[in-house]
Structure 1
Amino acid sequence: MAAKTNRLLALDGLRLLCALAVAFHHLGMAWSVDGVRPTTAYLPQEVNSILIYGFLGVEIFFMISGFAICMSGWDRTPRDFLASRAARLYPAFWACVLITTAVMTFLPLTDGIPLPHGLTATDIAVNLTMVAEPFNVPYVDTVYWTLWYELRFYALFALLVLIGPTRRRVIAIGAGWLTLSVVVPAGASLAELVMPQFAPYFVAGIAIYLIRRHGPAWPLWALLAAAWALSLFRVRERVLFANPGFPVPVWPAWLIITLAYIALLAIALGVTDRWRWRWLAVAGAISYPLYLLHPRIGYTLIRYAYDRTGVPVPVLIVAVAAILIVAAWLVHRLIERPVAPALRHWIATGSVRPSRSQVEHGTGLSPDGWAASRSVPGPPEQKGRASVQPGARVSSSCSRREETGW
């Protein structure tokens, strides 16, 4: 049954594909706490050669984030932007940190350790802030490193929200960011802000959103082409760094990244605007908690089941993935939906009671890289759609329809 929604549901589906790619990459490449007894020993080499590319889901997440954060922040005040980001990221994150801690505490591995580096209660508390990285505190789960990149991107975009985004300003900032990502050495202190490894993906998402909002124009195509070219160079570095113990050709990674560019561009140009399948909204909603829950919990469940039952590893990987999907839905349904609207309303207004419409429509679950998109003005060139001229601002009453996701 088609869902009546104003979201870009195709973005939800793309987000879940990315989350599943990362999950199967991790569960299929190594399922112990510290890389002991890698799963690759139990899987055919042909399967390993496919699963290895699942890490590219992170790069595509960052592209989606560039698109969705630009969309969600365009017509907001800085306080609204902060409220939407915090409400989307923190409730599920808090729940997943505590769930992972509990699982790793009560199901310790015999040849691993319950929590990495013997985390203390203070370390776990720091993890809950989502800024463990700058404080040099080990993560409860290794995938949290991507959130530190997201937070820095949010901080950069918040400055743009503060001064007011326009097409010209955003293009200039995107071009400048790409340039700095090339000239700033990886080890320099400025690299912490520039994020050279992943900057092209954020910039690509921003450029694609501008194409969605203002229509194609040569400065946007030039920015997108530069981001794509730099993405291919950066992804080559990531493939070479992977080093799983067997040959990993670079060309499939280039193909996957290029297809991601094409898919996101198709969404921006309105190719998927008529997609109204309700399951896509659910897919986008669970992608973020699935990403947060899958590594250490997944490793632990597979290891415990294999050591005690001897069930083939491929069967366990699929079964554990299904369990994690259900757990992700429960986190979304029981934690995000009730908590996020209240948190967002509190940050935005100082009151802890969201309006009835916020609760009913889940507007606390606002967008970002993990979110399904709010509707935005359709491609200007399409007939029957309201056109948005370059530099024009869309009134919040007609454009601020919420998305859900990371």
Structure 2
Amino acid sequence: MSAPPTKKWFGTGLDSRNNSLNLIRLVLAFAVLLHHSWPLAGLPGEPVFAGDTLGGWAIAGFFGISGYLITSSRWSNSLGTYLVHRVARIMPAFWVCLLAMVIVFAPIGYVAANGTLNGYFVTAHSPLNFLISNAMLDMRAYDIAGTPGNVPYAGAWNGSLWSLSYEFVCYLIIAALGCIAFVKRSRWPLTIAFLLSVLAQANIDTISHFTNDSFEVILMLRLLPFFLGGGVMYLWKDKIGFHAFPGILSFVAAFILSSTIPGWGVQASAIFVTYGIFWLSTIIKQPLFIAKNDISYGVYIYAFAVQQLLAVFGAHEWGIWWFSLAAAAGTVPLALGSWIFIERPIMRRVRRATAKKTPLPVQNPVSDTPETPETSVVVIAEGAR
């Protein structure tokens, strides 16, 4: 018999079937699209807050949401099931996206530049090289056969994909932490890990000195606090709850920390940003279509390429807003196709297969109620990366 539910400090918990996380993720994906419109149109003047762009803040929001949902998945599943779910969620759609770059986007760009496809497959940066170099999420090549060219931001078909490898590293970190019994029994180990990640960001100059100024390390330490902050929020969910007053205070605290503490204030604000986002998800209503169809991942992985293809034909000269609207209109059908034909069917098949192996509910060590992948917050994460 389980213990009675823990009394929450604030308001109510997160309803796994009645929230607007799909809508919020979609808004964040379109924010990244808008962010890219400035460099892809070759225009200055993108708004910046606390040293970061609109796109940087949107990606931080993605990592915070993912940290919450992915920690839920790990704490509710065996290591094998968790890893299968994560690979199935992120990799197939990514691979199809790479293929789309090679067989649709780049050939159009190549013909636009050269008038013919002759030589397309045997160039120095060949389509095959693009597929092989990037197949494991670590983006090592961005151009294909010298395209896109004659655009303000030449030589990159899909600059959005860089963040996926960092997110997958975060998945692996949570996978490893979930193998340690005392970490799963208590809220504090992950909470301390979050504080250490902020401390690492505060000492990034020293760390960079010992890593030869590795840009990969800098980016990882910049994003990790948001992911861990989301994980901490999940572990404390049964205690804190969500309510308007602390939700508003969280955004205020995030604003103050980010704007007054240079260097690491943004990362210190991660837990407040995540709390605020999840509170918003409890009060904002989303359309039923969006609730059932999470196309945010598809928007994220295709938008940049659609923008570049539009730029090949001069659409970047229309101005930021028309360029962005045209790109959004071109991206949504691709994202919807990715969701309907790749992401959703693969995840459903994987969940059915893994559910047969783990039919019994598991006790969440930091919660007072048993969870299964069907009854836990993982339900809201069907579209979570």
The two structures have a TM-score, normalised by structure 2, of 0.68
Which one of the candidate residues 172, 176, 182 is aligned to 2:192? 172
Output the amino acid matched with 1:197. Answer: R
Which one of the candidate residues 145, 152, 176 is aligned to 2:162? 145
1:203 maps to 2:228: yes
Which one of the candidate residues 112, 125, 128 is aligned to 2:132? 125
Using a 3 Å threshold, how does the CA distance of structure 1 residues 156 and 25 change in structure 2: closer, same or farther? same
Compute the displacement of 1:275 (Å): 4.2
Compute the displacement of 1:76 (Å): 0.9
Using a 3 Å threshold, how does the CA distance of structure 1 residues 161 and 22 change in structure 2: closer, same or farther? same
Name the structure 1 match of 2:36: 26
Aligned residues of 1:208 and 1:264 also touching (Cα < 8 A): no
Residues 72-109 of structure 1 deviation map (CA, whole Å, 9 limit, x = unaligned): 21111101110111111112111211112221222335
Aligned residues of 1:93 and 1:292 also touching (Cα < 8 A): yes
Using a 3 Å threshold, how does the CA distance of structure 1 residues 257 and 332 change in structure 2: closer, same or farther? same
Name the structure 2 match of 1:326: 333
Name the structure 2 match of 1:288: 297
Output the amino acid matched with 1:318. Answer: L
Name the structure 2 match of 1:156: 173
Which one of the candidate residues 352, 358, 376 is aligned to 1:399? 376
Name the structure 2 match of 1:232: 258
Structure 2 distance, partners of 1:39, 1:338, is 40
Compute the displacement of 1:293 (Å): 0.5
Structure 2 distance, partners of 1:390, 1:404, is 22
Output the amino acid matched with 1:24. Answer: L
For the residue of structure 2 that corresponds to 1:162, the secondary structure is coil
Structure 2 distance, partners of 1:150, 1:267, is 23
Name the structure 2 match of 1:82: 83
Using a 3 Å threshold, how does the CA distance of structure 1 residues 229 and 175 change in structure 2: closer, same or farther? farther
Residues 222-279 of structure 1 deviation map (CA, whole Å, 9 limit, x = unaligned): xx99x959972799669xxxxxxxxxxx9xx99x9898445325258xx43x846413
Using a 3 Å threshold, how does the CA distance of structure 1 residues 262 and 67 change in structure 2: closer, same or farther? closer
Let me know the Cα RMSD of the aligned residues. 4.4
Structure 2 distance, partners of 1:214, 1:119, is 54
Compute the displacement of 1:9 (Å): 3.0
Structure 2 distance, partners of 1:117, 1:57, is 35
Aligned residues of 1:93 and 1:289 also touching (Cα < 8 A): no
Which one of the candidate residues 203, 208, 212 is aligned to 1:186? 208
Structure 2 distance, partners of 1:172, 1:62, is 18
Residues 184-235 of structure 1 deviation map (CA, whole Å, 9 limit, x = unaligned): 513544976782212221232122223323337xxxx9xx99x959972799
Using a 3 Å threshold, how does the CA distance of structure 1 residues 168 and 313 change in structure 2: closer, same or farther? closer
Structure 2 distance, partners of 1:187, 1:389, is 39
For the residue of structure 2 that corresponds to 1:196, the secondary structure is helix
Aligned residues of 1:286 and 1:332 also touching (Cα < 8 A): yes
Output the amino acid matched with 1:20. Answer: F
For the residue of structure 1 that corresponds to 2:332, the secondary structure is helix
Name the structure 2 match of 1:381: none
The two structures have a TM-score, normalised by structure 1, of 0.65
Which one of the candidate residues 92, 107, 111 is aligned to 1:105? 107
Residues 129-179 of structure 1 deviation map (CA, whole Å, 9 limit, x = unaligned): 2134xxx55576221111111011111100122224231332233233333
1:335 maps to 2:342: yes
Name the structure 2 match of 1:11: 21
Name the structure 2 match of 1:359: none
1:297 maps to 2:306: yes
Output the amino acid matched with 1:25. Answer: H
Compute the displacement of 1:338 (Å): 2.4
Compute the displacement of 1:282 (Å): 4.8
Structure 1 distance, partners of 2:35, 2:377, is 36
Name the structure 2 match of 1:34: none
1:317 maps to 2:324: yes
For the residue of structure 1 that corresponds to 2:76, the secondary structure is coil
Using a 3 Å threshold, how does the CA distance of structure 1 residues 197 and 6 change in structure 2: closer, same or farther? closer
* Number of matched pairs: 324
Q: Which segment drifts farther, 140-149 or 182-191? A: 182-191
Aligned residues of 1:21 and 1:55 also touching (Cα < 8 A): no
Q: Percent identity?
A: 20
Aligned residues of 1:293 and 1:328 also touching (Cα < 8 A): yes
Structure 2 distance, partners of 1:207, 1:233, is 23
Name the structure 1 match of 2:147: none
Name the structure 2 match of 1:215: 240
Structure 1 distance, partners of 2:193, 2:303, is 35
Describe how 1:50-69 pairs up with structure 2 within 5 A: 53-69=54-70
Compute the displacement of 1:123 (Å): 3.4
Aligned residues of 1:96 and 1:293 also touching (Cα < 8 A): yes
